[in-house]
Amino acid sequence: MPYSSSLTDKEWEILEPLLSEILPTKKRTRPPNWTKRQILDGLLYQLKNGCNWCDLPKDLPPYSTVFWHYKQWRSDGILEQIMTTLHSRVREQVKKNQNGQRY
The model carries a pTM of 0.84
Please write the tens of the pLDDT for every residue from 31-69: 889 999 999 999 999 999 999 999 999 999 999 999 999
Provide the number of structural domains found in the chain: 1
Tell me if 42 is assigned to some domain: yes
In this prediction, residue 14 has a pLDDT band, given cuts at 50, 70 and 90, of very high
Q: Is residue 28 part of a domain?
A: no
Confidence of residue 101 (pLDDT cuts 50, 70, 90): low
> Does the pLDDT value for residue 74 go beyond 80?
yes
Determine the structural domain holding residue 68 and report its residue range.
9-21+33-100
Note the pLDDT of residue 62.
Answer: 97
What DSSP letter does each residue of the chain carry, written as one string? --STTSPPHHHHHHHHHHHHHHSPP---SS--SS-HHHHHHHHHHHHHH---GGGS-TTSPPHHHHHHHHHHHHHTTHHHHHHHHHHHHHHHHHHHHHHH---
In a domain, 58, yes or no: yes
